[in-house]
Amino acid sequence: MLKETAAKAQRVVVKAKPRDSVKTKARILECALEEFAEHGYDGARIERIVNAADINISLAYQYFGSKENLFIAVMEGAYDVMRTSHRDMDVRHLAPQEAMESLMRWTFRIFIDHPQLISLLNSENVHRGKHIAKSQHIKDLYNPLLDTIRSVLERGEAAGVFRKGVDPESLFISMNGMGYFYLSNKYTLGVILKRDLMTRKALQRHEDHIVDVVLGYLRA
């Protein structure tokens, strides 16, 4: 009986299910994004992230090392989303005014399509940007966009449709600021102005307003 049992045991091969590290890390990042967007960096808890991702906490630390590293990875993903959404490579062949209008509209729509980005950025601004300052990836992301804005401004100036001496970085701040302030303060502004700022009509009206203001400023 014992020999028979041993023989059966030898024929049984138990294989552990292989873990897909890429998918697991992606799931952790997805759950971490939700947690950091909801609670900010200080309020976020690794325990809630791993529970949502259905993994053990040691695996999260194995992949990311620390809560800060996980947050930086989330922010890198968030900035990648923003940069992809700018679609600045698509405007380089357009006429200056059309190119600038497209950039402004896409910039505003980033935060409409991805509202969690506002919460993440607000949280990181509370910490004065100290986490993303450790990411060379994020630091280098905006160089191509600023080059595109500079090129569009130069082409517009040469064609006589844009004023001279516009600073690309200041314009970039203004393009983002008018949309970001509107969306990040939509509830308090809604109370003050006594209207819903997030209806489709209201969003379109403000998007058009941004375009009118910036193009009006740029006009030669």
Q: Which domains does the chain have, with CATH numbers?
A: 18-65 (1.10.10.60), 68-218 (1.10.357.10)
Instruction: Please report which confidence band the pLDDT of residue 6 belongs to, taking 50, 70 and 90 as the band edges.
Output: very low
Report the pLDDT averaged over residues 53-64.
Answer: 93
d(Cα 198, Cα 210) in Å, to the nearest integer? 16
Q: pLDDT value at position 89? A: 84
| Prediction pTM value | 0.85
Report the pLDDT averaged over residues 106-115.
Answer: 94
Q: pLDDT value at position 148? A: 95
Type and span of the H or E element at 212: helix 200-218
Q: pLDDT value at position 20? A: 79
Report the pLDDT averaged over residues 132-158.
Answer: 95
d(Cα 35, Cα 218) in Å, to the nearest integer? 41
Quick one: tokens of 149?
Answer: 């804005």
Report the pLDDT averaged over residues 56-65.
Answer: 93
Report the pLDDT averaged over residues 153-175.
Answer: 96
Q: Do residues 215 and 101 make contact, with C-beta atoms less than 8 angstroms apart?
A: yes
Instruction: Please report which confidence band the pLDDT of residue 19 belongs to, taking 50, 70 and 90 as the band edges.
Output: low
Report the pLDDT averaged over residues 11-33.
Answer: 74
pLDDT of 4 > 70? The answer is no
